[in-house]
Each structure stands twice: as C-alpha cells, then as structure tokens.
A and B are shown apart, each in its own frame.
Chain A
Amino acid sequence: MLYREAGQFKATYAADQQIFPIRQDRIGIQLLLALAFVAVPLFASEYWLKAIMVPFLVFSLAALGLNILTGYAGQLSLGSAAFMAVGAFASYNFMLRVDGMPLLVAFALGGLAAALVGIVFGLPSLRIKGFYLAVATLAAQFFIVWLLTKVSWFSNDSSSGVITAQAMVILGYEFASPQAKYLLVLGLVATMALMAKNMVRSSVGRAWMAVRDMDVAAEVIGIRIMHTKLLAFAVSSFYCGVAGALYAFAYLGTVEPEGFNLDLSFKILFMIIIGGVGSISGAFLGSAFIVLLPIFLDVLVQDVFAGLLSPTIASNMQLMVFGGLIIFFLIVEPHGLARLWQIAKEKLRLWPFPH
C-alpha cells in the first residue's frame, strides 16, 4: 500500500533515468537527508555525533570504495586499510608541507595519492584473478604500513611514527565543534555517495559490471580490460583515501600506521559482504552493522546487565553474539542487508494483495 505506484507514469527519459524512479523512494530519501542534515546535528548529543555518527560515515565511505572495486568490478581486495593510510598520511603531509593548502584540496590530493598507489597495486589484477588477486593486494596492505613506519619523513620525523592531524579550517571557519565536524563529513560522504551512484549507473559502471560478470565476454564486446580494471582500482582507492583522511582529521585526530592494519581491511570487507556486495546502500548498512552493533552490545552489557555477569564473560559474550548475528544474517540473506531491504520493498509493493 505504501509502495503503490498506480498513477506514476514516466513521461520523459529524464523521469525514467532518475536514481529513484518511485515517488515514495524519493520522498523517503529526502526525509532521510533532512534527518541527517538538520535533525541529527540539532538534536543528537555530542557523544552520538562524535563517537557514533562520524565513524559510521567514515567507514561507510571506505566500504563504498571497496564496494566499487569488489562489488561492481569484481576485483577482490584486502588492501583497503592501506589505501586509507595513504590518504591520511598524504593529506597530512600536503597540509604540513604546502603553505596555505586548503583542506578540501588536501583531502582530494590525499585521495589522488591513494588512487595512484591503488593503480600500482592494481596492476597484478590484469594477470591474476579471484583469491590470487586478494593475496596480491595483501602485499599492498603490508608494504604500505611497513613503509609508513619505516620512512620517518611521512610522519614528519615523529619518534613514535604517529601523525597529528591539523585543525580543519575552510575559508577561515574552523570545524571544531562536533556538529561542524559531523556536517563536514556528512556533506563529503553524501556527495561522494551520489557520485558513486551515478558512476555505477553510467557507461563506466556498466563496463565494470561487464568485467565482473565475464571479462572475456567484456573484452569481446569492446571494453578495454586494462583501462576498466585500473580505473576501478583508482576510483576505489580514491574513496578509501578520502575516508582515511577523514578518519584521521575528523575522527581520531592522531593516527599511527599500525592503526591501518589488516584487521581494518577485513572489517571493511565484512562491511560490504554483510551490507551487500554491489550496492551503494549496502555500504552504509554494512558499516552500520559492523561499527555500531559492537558498541550497542557493549552498552547493553555494561548498562543493562551490569553486575550480573563477570566482566570477562561479558566481554567475550559480546564477540559471540556479534559473530552469531553475522552468521544469522548471512544464512537468512547471503546477498546482504541491502538485498533484504530490496525484498522487503518488493513485498511492500504488492501488499496487501500478493498474488
């Protein structure tokens, strides 16, 4: 009933090609954006903005990046955290070493640096596929973290190898309050998500999907494999790089190379597997699941069950429940939370008269 499309006719090509062809979806996304841009900064507490929303958005962006590469272009990668590290360290160095460097340009340059590194480590994808490629990208993961630790120039010769992000100032306004930081991150993530959505709907995205589904067939119909694959690596790494810069500048403030370890890469991979491989909304759903659920469980255990369980059991219980939920969702819907939402929508369109 909610999704009854009766009376919605597409009279122009533009109407047919828009991102959300159903009016209910358009209203829904507008409400969601209004909620995120207006209601959340107005009403959410500092804790929610700083500790929940910002990391959720940053990881959504990283998952979005990986989803472009793995979900749309079909190239498995275990180097996402390393590309985030490149973005973070590159942005920091651009800010540090270039006088008067605008913040957003530094983020973009950080993303571009990550894209270049991504292209280099994407080269093996021209010859190897599947799990073997995953192993090749594993090299990126270890090499980049090692390099950032080894060469102290990257961290401005700090004795411990950590970098402290500069203050975020755009046109004289300092993004210091939780609300400002949140809005900056949200603005960037929303813009880049929109760009990603349009990219995967365009010829570029279709080329990626063709390569994903069968690269020989794609080559036969005239898609340049090298160009397509490397573009996927570049775009994906760019997204991860910007996510890394935001992680350093808007969330943690101070980061060390070791923070971008393999665990983080796996976490981002799990985000897209649980959220939905090959789906933009899946990146957000997966990030919400992986980032927020452990926190939710911890709050549940510490506040609600405080004193009932011994602390060691309580901590281990969280991991068990978390693992159990991952398995549960993958059994219920192997294609991820985004697919679950899609099925729900299909059902809603027919409800209450399924035939």
Chain B
Amino acid sequence: MQLKTKLLLSAVAVSSVLTSSAVLAQANEQFIGLPSYRVGAYAAGGSGIYGGWIDYMALINEKEGGVNGVKLTWEECETEYNNARGVECYERLKSKGASGNSVFQPLSTGITYSVLDKVAQDKIPMVTIGYGRTDASDGRVFPWVFPMLTNYWSQNTAKIKFIGAKEGGMDKLKGKKIVNIYHDSAYGKETIPVLDAQAKKYGFTVVHIPVSHPGNEQQSQWLRVRQEKPDWVILRGWGVMNPTALKAAAKIGFPRDKVIGVWWSGAEEDTIPAGDAAKGYIAAGFNVAGANYPVVKAIQDNVYKKNKGNMEDKSRIGSVYYNRGVVHGIITVEAIRTAQAKFGKGKVINGEQMRWGLEHLVIDAKRLKELGAEGFMPDLKVSCLDHEGSGKVKFQQWDGKQWKVLTDWIDADKELVRPMIEESAAKYAKEKNITPRDCSKEG
C-alpha cells in the first residue's frame, strides 16, 4: 500500500513537472539545453563531448561568476542518438529558462536535419560543429544554422592537401589512387561529390567503397582495397567501424600511416580497441588531444578540485572527445559574450540575440591565447555569408598510446568548396521557397 502511495506521489510530481514547462528560473540565468546521449552505440562520443562542454560552462561559472555576471544553467535530455527522441528533446528544452533555450547543438546529423525547419520557426540558433548539413555554411539561405569551424567538404579538401604535401606537391597527385571507405549513411555519403570534383581537378582516381552500418564486418571491403592497390585510404567511419577498419587494414598489410580518418574516426575510442593495428594511423581534427593546454588545466583547477566536474572517468580529460566538448563550450560562451556586448552586458539574451552573437562571432589568435586555447582549436570568424567561419584542420597521428599533432592548421580549398555549397544551398532554397538574405543589408 505504501509503495502504491509512493508511486502515485511520484507520478503526480512528474506530471506536474511535465505540465508546467515554465520552470522556476532566476532572472539572471542563461539557459542552455543539452540534447545529450550517454547510452547506446555512440555513448563514448556523447559523454565525452557533453562532459567537456558542461565542464567549460562550470569553469565560467566558477571562475567568472558566469558571463558578465549572468550565470549559465543547463539541463540534459537523453536523445539516445535517435532522431525522434531528439525532436522530443528539442521541444522539451526550447522554452525552458528565462529566455528559452539559447542554442541547440544535437551532435547528430540526423537530429540536425530533423529540427532544421523548426529552429527557424522558433528562433533558436542551431550550432553543428563538425557535422550536420554542409551547405548550411551559406548563411544567406540558412540564417539559423551554424555548421561551425569546418564542414565535411572543407575537411576533405584539407585531407587531399595533406596527402598532396606528403606526396611532395599537388601536381604529384596525378595518377595516384585513393580509396574512400565510407559509412553507408547520409553522413558517410556526404563527401563523395567533393572527392569526385577533386579527383577531376588533380587527376587522381578515387574509388568509393561503402561499409554498411554498423561496420563490424569489413573483410570484403578490405579485400577490394587489396585488389585496388591504392596509394592512400580515406576512412570515413563512425563508431565501431573505425577500429574494425584499422584491424582489417593490418590484416591485409596496408600501411596504417596511409590511412586518413575524418574527425569522427580520430578519437582514443577509435584507436585503443584496435590495439597495435592503429599505430601510425592519421586522423584530421578541428581540435587536438592533450590535457596540457591552459584551458584544460583551468578546468581541472577550478572545477575538478572543487569536485564539480562532470566526467566520471577522469582519465578521459584531455581526450579528443573531451577537448571537442571544451571547443563547444568556448564557442557557446564566446557567442553569448558577443551578443551581450551588443544587446547589453550582464543581460540574459534570447534566441534571436544569440543568433546575432553567433553570426558576428570572432575568435582570433589573440582571443584564443586569452582563453588558453592557443593551438587547441583554429581561429574563427563567422559572417552572414560564411557560417563555417574557419575550415582549418590539424592532422594527428596515433603513436600507440596517444595522439601526436602532426601538422599546423591546414586550410581548406575554399575555391572548390564554396561554389558547391552555394549551388546546393540555392537548390534547397528553391525547393523550400526561401528567398536568400541580402548580406550587405545585415547589421
């Protein structure tokens, strides 16, 4: 009987919470909704990135008392990396806090697509760092979406530049063969057109080999790699597909330092399960690994020493995913700062103001140094035309124990990518009857 009363009481409590979407919020708090995923196949990415992001916001609260005195608050919502759950989380989080959710960052390309129309209607900016819809880089058609730092197409051109440098010049690429092993999904297919365009431009041949989800069986694919005898292999994997690919490469004796991964293939979680097979493997990244950056140290001093950190496994602090979360935190906080500088310091900003802040976000080398993130992430300058803002990546190599930075920031081939982005965005605008904004009139 007692149990029943208890159950009833908790049910009443929950339903009252469900109905009153306006949660008691202090006036001077900036709410950030976090559609996180900590269970399922991609939990390693989700827990690392959201952990790092939360830790950075906690650092701002601890060290500076918030952004100009406005405390940051957040709430998580478990999406399980599932599109339908992601939409539910979006709807649940959007009107919480004093001024609603400031920014939505789902860390899932599928969820990005699912809420693409909704963010424009609800006036909540969406930031997709290193994933999502590539052609959203054209801010005229997608005012509310910010695929920041670098998109898949830019990253792919940087990869070819890197290969070219390794071969001793872009002209040496002629006659070479590159195999693109990709996750057979919307995410995996996205770079095929840009690779084809580059193959035409530089005269190398490219062979696309799909791996079906989840990718824990790749014998036939790597058999084909052996037949094709490529000079380089681009690995566009996700989750369990990556270590499997590295092991398969080791099996057929393909040199691992000729395998180049995307950033979703370049974390400790991708290489450690492959063991020795991963040694020498190279991956692109818009953030680097390592805990010896001032910003990570500051988190350890101000957050973890006070026992307020988010990570349970503290050895993951400084890992690729964790640091990527810190990058998410930096961009979110700096955008709030930029918006506050325009709309009033120490004020809570709403979604529209946040969008302005993101569109005028500039994090230059000097600012990166002040933040303690020099070399940690590329410098960034977002504009109405260009919602990507950077396009630079670094290449890191796995030495068997950790990721070692191999190169400085490598720029993307903007001349090649930008027209493709504009063409694709224009097609979307036509399909959806969107009139692109005139950027010369934007303040």
Contacts and interface: CB of A to CB of B under 8 A. Distances in A.
B61 interface: no
B389 to A, nearest CB: 21
A310 B76 CA distance: 12
Contact of B117 (A50, A253, A295, A303): A253
B416 interface: no
Contacts of A298: 77-78
B14 A296 contact: yes
Contact size range, B: 35 or more
B186 A316 contact: no
B432 A164 contact: yes
B76 A252 contact: no
A259 B134 CA distance: 19
A51 B92 contact: yes
B213 interface: yes
Interface stretch (B79-87, B244-252, B352-360): B79-87
B91 A316 contact: no
A50 B21 CA distance: 14
B39 interface: yes
A164 B36 CA distance: 24
A299 interface: yes
A311 B424 CA distance: 39
A247 to B, nearest CB: 8
A149 B82 CA distance: 18
B99 interface: no
B193 interface: yes
Nearest to A317: B39
Contacts of A334: none
Contact of A254 (B14, B23, B94, B114): B114
Contacts of A257: 186
Contact of B77 (A48, A259, A302): A302
Contact of B84 (A252, A303, A311): A252
Given A258-B185, A311-B38, A318-B78, A299 B117 contact: no
A261 interface: yes
A47 B110 contact: no
Q: Pick from A142, A257, A296, A311 the residue with the most CB of B within 10 Å.
A: A311
B91 A149 contact: no
B189 A311 contact: no
Given A149-B184, A261-B213, A251 B87 contact: yes
Nearest to B47: A312
A251 B84 contact: yes
Contacts of A306: 75
Nearest to A261: B213
A66 to B, nearest CB: 17
Contacts of B428: 164
Interface string B190-207: 101100000000000000
Interface in B15-45: 17-19, 21, 23, 36-39
Given A161-B189, A298-B78, A316 B38 contact: yes
A161 B10 contact: no
Interface in B169-189: 184-187, 189
B402 interface: no
B95 interface: yes
A306 to B, nearest CB: 7
Nearest to B112: A254
Contact of A45 (B19, B38, B116, B134): B19
A258 B14 contact: no
Given A253-B114, A254-B117, A311-B38, A160 B19 contact: no
A256 B78 contact: no
B135 to A, nearest CB: 8
Interface string B83-104: 1110110111011000000000
Interface string A79-96: 000000000000000001
A64 to B, nearest CB: 18
B367 interface: no
Interface string B121-137: 00000000000011100
A161 B75 CA distance: 32
Interface in A248-266: 251-259, 261, 263
B91 A160 contact: no
A159 B189 contact: yes
Contacts of A101: none
Contacts of A253: 114-118
Interface string B38-64: 110000000100100000000000000
A294 B117 contact: no
Contacts of A294: 80, 85
A146 B212 contact: yes
A315 interface: yes
A123 to B, nearest CB: 24
B13 interface: yes
Given A50-B91, A161-B189, A312 B17 contact: no
A296 B17 CA distance: 10
A304 B83 contact: no
B310 interface: yes
Contacts of B14: 296, 299-300, 303-304
Contact of A161 (B37, B38, B186, B310): B186
A46 interface: yes
B442 interface: no
A312 B76 contact: no
Given A149-B185, A159-B134, A256-B185, A51 B87 contact: yes
B17 A256 contact: no
B113 to A, nearest CB: 4
Interface of B: 10, 13-14, 17-19, 21, 23, 36-39, 47, 50, 75-78, 80, 82-85, 87-88, 90-92, 94-95, 109-110, 113-118, 133-135, 184-187, 189-190, 192-193, 212-213, 310, 312, 424, 428, 431-432
22 contacts: A45-B21, A47-B91, A47-B92, A55-B88, A149-B186, A159-B135, A159-B189, A160-B190, A162-B186, A252-B87, A252-B114, A254-B116, A259-B110, A261-B213, A299-B92, A300-B10, A303-B23, A304-B13, A311-B36, A311-B50, A312-B38, A316-B39
Interface of A: 45-48, 50-52, 55, 96, 142, 146, 149, 156, 159-162, 164, 251-259, 261, 263, 291, 294-296, 298-304, 306, 310-312, 315-316, 318-319
Given A258-B213, A316-B38, 4 more contacts: A46-B91, A295-B85, A299-B18, A302-B77
